[in-house]
Amino acid sequence: MSITEWLRARAVELGASLCAAAILIAGLAVGVPFLRARIPEVFLYSFCCVSAVLVRAGLDLAVRALMLGARALQGANILISPLSRSPGEMVR
């Protein structure tokens, strides 16, 4: 997945969560009865909806960075201790 595809996918997720949060808060502002009865939950859900997308994007970036680092180290030789049962000292 290229950078632009990744950014586009995260932008769609963020847009959807912001839209859901906006609908909830707009419903609260209009005075929808079942939302007015649960004001703290509406704000909490709106916050969690948006922050979950941001946390997922951060975790995804962290995993991608780790995988990129692992691929960079993939060409390095691994030394095996002399106590090992491997016949050679270097394994590729």
- Domain boundaries of the chain, sorted by first residue: 3-81
Mark out the alpha helices in the chain (DSSP H runs): 3-30, 33-36, 39-73
The pLDDT value given to residue 1: 75
The pLDDT value given to residue 88: 57
Collapsed DSSP state (helix, strand, coil) of residue 79: strand
pTM of the model: 0.67
Of 88 and 33, the structure prediction assigns the larger pLDDT to 33
Residues 26-55 have a mean pLDDT of: 90
